[in-house]
Amino acid sequence: MHNVKEYIDEHKNRFLHELVELLKIPSISADSAFSQDVLDTAEAVKEALEKAGCDVVEIHETDGYPIVYGEKIINPNLPTVLVYGHYDVQPPDPMDLWNSPPFEPVIKETELHPQGAIFARGACDDKGQMFMHVKALEFMVNTDQLPCNVKFMIEGEEEVGSSNPPPTLRKRRKNLKTT
């Protein structure tokens, strides 16, 4: 199967389940009460990258929340794409503006989304977008269509200013080098 639409149709239920489980984790980096949830989310991202086909997946500690690094190198002579994302989310306040609990994802149809959309904190910014990139890698790896090398850098402090990733990235600069 080399058609992306067919692949999505075949795996849609699994994709939705995996994304919903990720969205359930309240990875609120701005509130220390959720520190363990942020760390748990880093582990979940690591597992997702491994399952998607990355050959190297590592969690790099920082002075704050860790960076999840993954790579799939198919040929060092090919170009490399670097995918950046974050797994932390904004606090859901004010709670009275939510129609459903922010960490209990629901799929509902709306005028804007007649075929349905997932409503949860992080569904778009940025767990959903990051997850889409991971699943794109999975498709390309599983169908032998990956045209380049891919590296992922997914961090856990974007919503609080990302002050800790830069020193770690400077130390690991050669890992992130792309051609």
Distances (CA, A) of 28 to 23, 24, 111: 11, 12, 30
**Active-site positions?**
88, 158
Q: Cβ contacts of residue 116 below 8 Å, gap of 6+?
A: 107, 108, 109
